[in-house]
Amino acid sequence: MPAVTKEDSPWDDWPDFSDEETNDEPVVARPVKKKNKTGALGLDLFMTNMGISSAAAAPPIPPRISHSTTPVERDPTVGLFSGDIYYPGLEEESLEKMDKSEHSLAPALENGHKKSSVARALFSLRPTAPADIAVPDVPVIPHRTMANPPAIPEVFHQQLSEAFEPESLPRAQPPQRPSGYRREASPARPLPPTPVTSRLRVWRVASKTLPQIPVLSGGTNFFLRLKPANWRKELVNEFASTTAVTITSHQSSRQFANLLLATRQQMEIDAELPVDSVTGPVESLQVEFKNMWVEKYRPERYMDLLSDEGVNRCLLHWLKLWDAVVFKKEAAFLNPYKDYGKRKKRDDKPVYDRRKYGGVSDFCFTVDADKRPRFKAALLCGPPGLGKTSLAQVIARHAGYEPMEINASDDRALEVFRSRVEATVMNGSVVNQFVEGGERPDRPKCLIIDEIDGAPGNTVEYLVCLLKGEAKATEGKKKKKIGLWRPIICICNDLYVPALRTLRQCTMILRFPSINRERLTGRLSDICKHLAVQADSAVLYTLCEKSDDDIRTCLNSLQFASVPGKRLHMQDVAKATMGCKDQRKQLLQIWEDIFRLPSGYKGSDTRTGPLHTKSGLSPSDRIGTILEMVQLGEMEKIVNGLFENYLLIHHKDPSLRTAHECADWRSYTDIMERCVYEDQNWFLLGYLSFYPVAIHLLLAALATPRFTFPTAQYETYKKTIANQEIIKALLKDLAPALLRTSKSENLPSEVIPFLTHIIQPPLKAVTTHLLSNAERLDLKRVVHLMISYGLSYQEEKTLTGIHTEKMEPQLDAIASWHGVNTYPGMPTTVRAMVSKEVQQQRINVNARMEGTKSGGHDGEPANMEVDITQDAPAPALPAGVASKANPSTTTRAQANSNNTAKLQVWSVYDCYRKNSPATAPKAGGSSKARKIWFRYKEGYSNAVCRDIKVKDLL
Amino acid sequence: MSLWVDKYRPTDSSKLDYHKEDAAKLKNLAQSDDFPHMLVYGPPGAGKQTRITCLLADMFGTGVHRMRIHYITFTTPSNKKMEITTVASSYHIEVNPSDSGIYDRLVVMEVLKSIAALRQPDDAGKRPFKVVVLTEVDRLTRDAQQALRRTMEKYSASCRLILCCNSISKVIPAIRSRCLNIRVAAPTEEEISRIVMNVFREERITLPADLAKKIAHQSNRNLRRALLMAEATKVKQYPFPAGATPVIADWEQYLDTTARMIAERQDAPRLLEIRSRLYELLSHCIPATLIMNGLVKKLLENCPDNTLKAEIISQAAIYEHRLQQGNKAIYHLEAFVAKFMSLYKRFIEENTMDMDF
C-alpha cells in the first residue's frame, strides 16, 4: 500500500469558500488526526475534501440510513437520497477485483463497517439538501461502465468534489475547511428548508487520463479515481505541464511545485497542533466581518491568490530564503535564476525570464554572510484592491510564519513601533517545530507593515536603520546592535512618497501588475455560484472593467447589487455609480488620453456618425470622460503638460489654425485662473478644466502621442528667481541717489545691458604703468563705477583649472544672451587688473571716509575709534588707522590716514592702561616691533582678529 | 563718479531741459503754501522721478538731496517679518510698495501711519508736512489702492503724497480724483538728441550729429536709455568712426532675431523654438510688455500688406490686453505669435495662389 497521507495536492484550485461560522451552514467536524492510522485513506481524503466526516473520526451527526431517522425528508426522485442504495455502484465484486489487483484498494472498503461508514459519508454529502429540491427527471448518462476495472490503486480524487458541485443548488456544498489552522467542533444544525427549485448537474468526467470507477446509484454517477503508486510525482509532472501557460520553464515549475509541497507539509504539521488561545479572539472578531464578502472570500491558500503569479512566486521565494536562518534548515529553493543567470557569451541575453518572478532581478535572491536574504524586507506596492495584504498574509502563513500586522490603524509613533518591531524581529532563538507533548510551538513571526506610505517619517527612518543593520537596541547600556532575523513585508500604495525614499533602496520592491481580468471574472462567477447569485460572465466582466480590476471594489459592489437567487443584470452593473472608483490616473496616462482618440474610434467620417454614439465615442461622451478625468487629477500639472506638449503633437492643418486655437485657449484659461486665484472668484474654477477638453477635441489623434514631461516652465521659474536675486543683490549695495532711480523693473531691460558695456571697455591687458593717459582715465572711471554700483570681480577656478574672474553680483548672467555675440567679455587678465584696482580704490575710499570722520570727531580724547575696513583683501595693503588714544598720535595718524601707510595702533586696550597719556606714546614707541593691527567689523563683537597677550601690551 | 544718466540729472526745476512751461507751473506750485497730493505719470524714461526731485528741491531746498537709506520692518498678519528699503531725506521718504508683493497694502498703511505720526517740528517756518513719494503705483494691488484712498485723506494734515506711475489706467479712479494729475510726456527725438549732444559737450567729446540722432531714434524716446546708450557707445567706439551705430542692448538683438525667425517660417516646431526664446527673455526679467512691443514692431517691419498690418496690430492690442489681465506672460505672448503665424501664413498662401492664377 502506498504511503498516502492526507495530501491536498497543491493544484487544488478550488476557491476556498470556508464559511464555517455562518449560522445557516451545517458544520461538520473534520477528521484531521489519526488519518494515517485508520488507513481509510482514500475515502477520508475524499470526505475531508467534501468537508464531511468519516465515521472513524467522531461524526457529529451520523446520518442514519433508515428512512425514519433521516433528518432530511427524502425525495424519491433524488437518487442519492432515495435511501435504498447508499453504497451505490461499488459492487462487491468490483471491490474484490480491485482488492485483488496488485495495488490494493483502500482498506476502508473491505469490511462492512467501513462500508457503512462510507455510505454514511456518501449520504452526508448532501446532509443539508432540503427535502423539496425538485430535481426533475434528469437523464443521467453513465459516462463509463465498469467494463474496465482499474488496475491501479486508487484514491478518491478530489475532483470528485468538484464533480459534485451542482450548478445551481440554493445551498452550496458544505463548507470546506482549508487545511488551515482553525478547527471548530460546533454541532451541525439541520438547515431550514428553503424552497428553491433547481436542476441537477450532469457530472463530468474529471480526467481523461486516469481510469475511473463510475458508480451508479439511482441515476447518479460517482467516480473513483485510481492513482498509481507514484502518483505524487506524476501530479507534480501534471502540474508542471498544466501551468506551462504561465510558466515557461518546465524545470522551474517543477521545482516550484516541490516547494509548494514542502510548504504544504509544514502547514499540515501546524494544523495538527492544537489551536492556541491566541487565535481564538481573533476568530471571534472575524465573525463580524464575515458578512462582508471581501472578508468572507479572502484567499487563505496560496492557490487561491488572484494576484500576479510572478509576484506571488517571488515573494514566496524570498520568504523561503529565510528558512536557513529562521528554521535552521537549508532552503529548498535558493535562487530561481541559478541555472539561468550565466551567459555564455557577452552578447547573449540572459536566458531567464524575469517576468516569472515579478520582474525582480536575481540579486534579490542572493544571501548575505549571515545566510539572510540580501534584502531584509520586501516592499509590495500597487493600487488598492489588488490583494497585497492578502498575499502577504497568505504567504507568511504558507511559509510557516505567524503574520503580525502593523497597519495605519495602529499607533505608529516611533516608540510604539520600535517596541513592537523589536519584539518581533529581534534575535530570537531558532524555533522548534516539533515540541514533544503536542504543545504548540511559537511560530516565528513575520512582520507585515501595511500602509507604510502613511507612516511617520521617523518610523520609516528607524525601519531603514533596522534593515541596514544600524539600529540600536533601546534598553541596556551596551547598545547592542539589533540583528534582523525575521522577514519584514512592507505594503504601500504609492511607492514614490517622499518618506519612502530611503526605504526604497534597501528593500526588494515588488510592483503589483493589474490582475488578470479573466481570472477575476472567473473567481467572481465562482462566488456568485456559491451564493446562488446568477450572473453572466459578461456582466461580471463589465464590473471588473469598471472597477479597474480592483477585487475589493468588485466584491463590494457585487454584494451590494446581488440578491441571492436572482439574476444580476447588465443594467445594474452598467449604472454609473456601480463599481466606479474615484481615482486619480497617472499624469502620463491622462495626457495620453487627452492627446489620443478613444480606442475604437473610426475616423471622423460623418457617415459613421451613429457608430460613435454607441459607447463613449460621441463628442459629448468624450468631453465627459476628459472632464471627469481632469477634474480628479492635479489640474495645474495636467495643464502644464498640455501646454508644453501640444506643439509636439502632429498638427494636421498647415495653416496653424489648431495651434493658434490651442494657444488662445491657454491664454483664455490663464485669465480665468487669475480671476479664480487672485480675485477669488471660485465659481469660475469649474471652467478651468475645459482647456484639456478643447485640446482633446482639437488635437486628439489615433496615433500614439509622443510627449515629454513638462519642465520648461519650472526651469524658467528657477532661472527667473535666480536673476531676480542678482538684481536684488545689486540693489542692496546702491547709494541712495542711485537706488531711487533704479527700479527692479527698469534695471534688467535698460540699465544693466548698457552698464555691462560701460564697465567693460576695450582695455589692453598690460600693467597700469603702460597705459596711456586716456586709457588710465577709462580705467579710473570703470573702477569708480564698479565701486559705486558695488560690483567686483571674484577669482574663481573652473573645474578644468582655468582661472576666471567672475563679476559679482553676476550681471553677466542677466546681460548675456545665447546667440548674441556682442556681449563684451573682458579678458581675464584685464578683469584681474581691474579687480585689483577696484580693491585698492575701495580701501582708499574707506580710508578717506575714515579720515574725514575722525577729523570731524577731533578733540574727543578717550574715544576709542577703530578703523573700519571692510575686508582688507591684500595682505600687502594692511589697512589700519590709528585711533586717537592721545593727541600726539592723532596728528600722526591723520597725516598718514590717506593711504596705506603702516601705522601703529593704539587700540581699545589703551584704556586699560594707565590713564596718563604720557606713557602711551612711550609704550607705543618702545614697542615698535610689536605692532597691533585691528580689523573691525561692524556688528560683530569679535572685532579683534588676532590673539594678543597682556604682556605684549605692557 | 557716476553714470552720465545720474551725473547730468537736473537737480532743480530751472535746469530742466524740456517741458519748461510745466516745470515753471510746478515751481509756482512749490512756492505757494499749499500743496495737493500729486499723481505723476508718463512713460519710462520721461523724467518723472527727476521732476519730482526738482519739485521737492524747490519746496524744501537742497537738503532734499541729502538722502540716506532707511529700512522699515513690519510684521505681516502671518507673523512674517518683512523689510523694505526706502530712501529718505529729512523732508521726504520714497517707498516702492510694490516690492513687497502681496503685502503692499500693509506697506502703504504702516509707512503712511508712521510718517504721519511723526509730525514735523514746525520751526523755521518750514512746511508742516512731510512728503511721501510712492513709486510704481500702477503695480499696487487693488487692496493696497483701496487702503491708500482712505489713508490719503486721513493723514493729509501731516503728509502729502506724490504718486508715480507709468500708466494711470491701473490706478483706481478714486485715487486719481484725489490727486493733481501731472503727465510727463516722453521727450521728442529732437529733445533727446539735443540733450545727448549737450552731455557730450560737457564731457568734451565730439559727437557726430547723425549718431546723436540715431541714438535718439534707437532709444524709443526714453531719455534714460538714450544716455546709457550714448555712454556705452562712447566706451565701445570712441573715437567715433564715420557711420558709427549706437550700441543696442543685447536683449533687443535677441528679440530681433526672434521676430526674424517668426517671419521666416510658420509651423509648430518653429513655434516651439519661439516659445523657448520667449522663456529665455522672460527669465532674464525683461518685462512682458516690452517683449510684446518689440515683437510687434519688428514683425510689422516685415509685413508686406497694409490690411494685414492693421489686422496684426488689432490682434496685438487684444493680446497685450490679455497680458495685463492674465497671470503668466508666456501664454499670451505665445498666443500672439501663433495668431501672427496663422494670419501671416494664410496671407502668404492666398497671395501666392493669386499669383499662380
B94 contact residues in A (CB cutoff 8 A)? 740
Give mean pLDDT, residues A689-698: 90
Give mean pLDDT, residues A833-854: 78
Are the beta carbons of B334 and A662 closer than 8 angstroms? no
Q: What is the pLDDT of residue B310?
A: 93
Are the beta carbons of A451 and A502 closer than 8 angstroms? no
Are the beta carbons of A291 and A41 closer than 8 angstroms? no
Is 80 exceeded by the pLDDT of residue A165? no
Q: What is the mean pLDDT of chain A?
A: 64
Q: Do A749 and B285 touch (CB under 8 A)?
A: yes
Give mean pLDDT, residues A826-831: 83
**Which of A336, A335, A319 minimizes the C-alpha distance to A327?**
A319
Q: Dihedral sign for Cα A244, A247, A251, A255, please.
A: negative
Q: What is the pLDDT of residue A8?
A: 45
Threshold 0.80, pTM exceeds = no
Q: What is the pLDDT of residue A851?
A: 67
Q: Which helix (H) or strand (E) covers residue B164, if one does?
A: strand B159-165
A723 contact residues in B (CB cutoff 8 A)? 283-285
Predicted confidence (pLDDT) per residue in B209-242, tens digit: 889 999 999 888 999 999 999 999 988 887 888 8
- Judge: domain B4-183, CATH 3.50.50.60: no
Q: Are strands A792-797 and B81-88 parallel, antiparallel or unpaired?
A: unpaired
Q: Do B2 and A785 touch (CB under 8 A)?
A: yes
Higher-confidence residue of B13 and B189: namely: B189
For A385: left if phi > 0, alpha if psi spans -120 to 50, otherwise beta; the answer is: left
Confidence label for A218 from pLDDT (cuts 50, 70 and 90): low
Higher-confidence residue of B326 and A953: namely: B326
Is 50 exceeded by the pLDDT of residue A87? no
State the nearest Cα–Cα gap between A709 and chain B, in angstroms: 15
Q: Which of these ranges, A157-161, A412-416, A586-590, A873-877, has the smallest mean pLDDT?
A: A873-877
**Which of B237, B244, B239 minimizes the C-alpha distance to B209?**
B244
State the nearest Cα–Cα gap between A890 and chain B, in angstroms: 30
- Interface mutation vs chain B, best among A655, A720, A749, A781, most B CBs within 10 Å: A749
Triad A133, A136, A142: Cα angle to 5°: 110
Q: What is the pLDDT of residue A443?
A: 74
Q: What is the pLDDT of residue B299?
A: 92
| Alpha carbon distance A637, A689 (integer Å) | 12
| Domain residue ranges in chain A | 307-430+441-514, 515-583, 584-600+619-709, 720-848
Confidence label for B195 from pLDDT (cuts 50, 70 and 90): very high
Predicted confidence (pLDDT) per residue in A462-489, tens digit: 888 888 776 555 544 444 555 677 888 8
The angle that helices A250-272 and A388-398 make with each other, rounded to 10 degrees, is 70
Predicted confidence (pLDDT) per residue in A863-878, tens digit: 333 333 333 333 333 3
Q: Write down the residue that cell numbers 579710473 correspond to.
A: A780
Q: Write down the residue that cell numbers 477635441 correspond to.
A: A697
Confidence label for A337 from pLDDT (cuts 50, 70 and 90): low
Give mean pLDDT, residues A53-81: 41
B231 contact residues in A (CB cutoff 8 A)? 754, 758
Q: Do B327 and A674 touch (CB under 8 A)?
A: yes
Fold of A307-430+441-514: Rossmann fold (3.40.50)
Predicted confidence (pLDDT) per residue in B108-121, tens digit: 888 888 877 766 55
Nearest residue, CB atoms, A815 vs list B2, B250, B325 = B250
Q: Do B44 and A750 touch (CB under 8 A)?
A: yes
Q: Which three cell numbers stand for residue A479?
A: 547598545
- Interface mutation vs chain A, best among B162, B229, B334, most A CBs within 10 Å: B334
State the nearest Cα–Cα gap between B254 and chain A, in angstroms: 6
User: DSSP string covering A797-839, please?
Assistant: E-TT--EEEEEES-HHHHH--TT--------HHHHHHHHHHHH
How many helices, marked H, and strands, marked E, lie in chain A? Answer: 35, 11
Alpha helices in A404-550 (DSSP H): 414-425, 457-468, 501-505, 517-530, 537-546
Q: What is the pLDDT of residue A426?
A: 63
Q: Do A716 and B338 touch (CB under 8 A)?
A: no
Is 70 exceeded by the pLDDT of residue A940? no
Fold of B250-356: Zinc Finger, Delta Prime; domain 3 (1.20.272)
The angle that helices A828-856 and A887-896 make with each other, rounded to 10 degrees, is 150
Most confident of A133-142, A187-196, A283-292, A462-471: A462-471
Q: Which three cell numbers stand for residue B72?
A: 522699515
- Interface mutation vs chain A, best among B100, B170, B231, B327, most A CBs within 10 Å: B327
Q: What is the pLDDT of residue A381?
A: 86
| Alpha carbon distance A851, A844 (integer Å) | 10
Give percent of chain A above pLDDT 70: 49
Confidence label for B335 from pLDDT (cuts 50, 70 and 90): very high
**Which of A645, A695, A657 minimizes the C-alpha distance to B338?**
A657
Q: What is the pLDDT of residue B321?
A: 93
Confidence label for B293 from pLDDT (cuts 50, 70 and 90): very high
Most confident of A2-16, A294-308, A647-661, A718-732: A718-732
CB atoms within 10 A of CB A209: 8
Most confident of A45-54, A487-496, A595-604, A911-920: A487-496
Backbone angles phi, psi at A147, to 5 degrees: -60, -40
Confidence label for B262 from pLDDT (cuts 50, 70 and 90): very high
Q: What is the pLDDT of residue B188?
A: 93
Confidence label for B331 from pLDDT (cuts 50, 70 and 90): very high
Q: What is the pLDDT of residue A178?
A: 43
| Alpha carbon distance A253, A242 (integer Å) | 10
| Alpha carbon distance B220, A570 (integer Å) | 73
User: DSSP string covering B115-146, please?
Assistant: HHHS-----TT--S-EEEEEE-GGGS-HHHHH
Distances (CA, A) of B299 to A392, A454, B259: 66, 56, 6
CATH C-level class of A584-600+619-709: mainly alpha
Q: Is A596 helix (H, G, I), strand (E, B) or coil?
A: strand
- Judge: domain A515-583, CATH 1.10.8: yes
Sequence-distant (6+) residues with CB within 8 A of B321 are none
| Alpha carbon distance B44, B339 (integer Å) | 29
Nearest residue, CB atoms, B6 vs list A716, A723, A738 = A738
| Alpha carbon distance A648, B11 (integer Å) | 56
A724 contact residues in B (CB cutoff 8 A)? 285
CB atoms within 10 A of CB A214: 17
Closest chain B residue by Cα to residue A739: B87
State the nearest Cα–Cα gap between B125 and chain A, in angstroms: 27
Is 60 exceeded by the pLDDT of residue A203? no
Q: What is the pLDDT of residue A153?
A: 41
DSSP symbol at A511: E
Sequence-distant (6+) residues with CB within 8 A of A750 are B44, B45, B222, B224, B225, B228, B249
Q: Which of these ranges, A447-461, A558-572, A878-892, has the smallest mean pLDDT?
A: A878-892
Q: Do B1 and A643 touch (CB under 8 A)?
A: no
Q: Do B231 and A754 touch (CB under 8 A)?
A: yes
Q: What is the pLDDT of residue B27?
A: 87
Are the beta carbons of A445 and A404 closer than 8 angstroms? yes
State the nearest Cα–Cα gap between A487 and chain B, in angstroms: 48
Give mean pLDDT, residues B61-68: 85
Give percent of chain B above pLDDT 90: 35
Backbone angles phi, psi at B21, to 5 degrees: -65, -45
- Put simply, whether A772 touches B (Cβ < 8 Å) is no
| Alpha carbon distance B283, A816 (integer Å) | 12
Q: Do B267 and A656 touch (CB under 8 A)?
A: yes
DSSP symbol at A702: S
Nearest residue, CB atoms, A663 vs list B85, B222, B334 = B334
Q: Do A761 and B332 touch (CB under 8 A)?
A: no
Q: What is the pLDDT of residue A516?
A: 81
Give mean pLDDT, residues A37-58: 41
Confidence label for B125 from pLDDT (cuts 50, 70 and 90): low
Q: What is the pLDDT of residue A405?
A: 83
A727 contact residues in B (CB cutoff 8 A)? 285
Alpha helices in A12-111 (DSSP H): 35-38, 41-50, 92-100
Confidence label for B291 from pLDDT (cuts 50, 70 and 90): very high
User: DSSP string covering A140-200, please?
Assistant: PPPS--TTS---S-B---THHHHHT--SS-SS-SPPPPPSSS----PPP-PPPP------P
Burial A138-157 (b: 16+ CB within 10 A, else e): eebeeeeebeebbebbbbbb
Is 60 exceeded by the pLDDT of residue B208? yes
- Terminal Cα distance for chain B, rounded: 68
Give mean pLDDT, residues A302-330: 79
Q: What is the pLDDT of residue B185?
A: 92
**Which of B258, B282, B251 minimizes the C-alpha distance to B341?**
B258
Alpha helices in A480-600 (DSSP H): 501-505, 517-530, 537-546, 551-561, 570-574, 587-595
Q: Do A667 and B283 touch (CB under 8 A)?
A: no
What share of residues in chain B are helix, strand, coil (percent, to 5)? 60, 10, 30
Backbone angles phi, psi at A114, to 5 degrees: -65, -35
B229 contact residues in A (CB cutoff 8 A)? 754
- Terminal Cα distance for chain A, rounded: 113
Give percent of chain B above pLDDT 70: 96
Q: What is the pLDDT of residue B196?
A: 92
Higher-confidence residue of A739 and A670: namely: A670
Give percent of chain A above pLDDT 90: 2
Q: Do A663 and B335 touch (CB under 8 A)?
A: yes
Q: Do B326 and A737 touch (CB under 8 A)?
A: no
ipTM: 0.92
Higher-confidence residue of B168 and A148: namely: B168
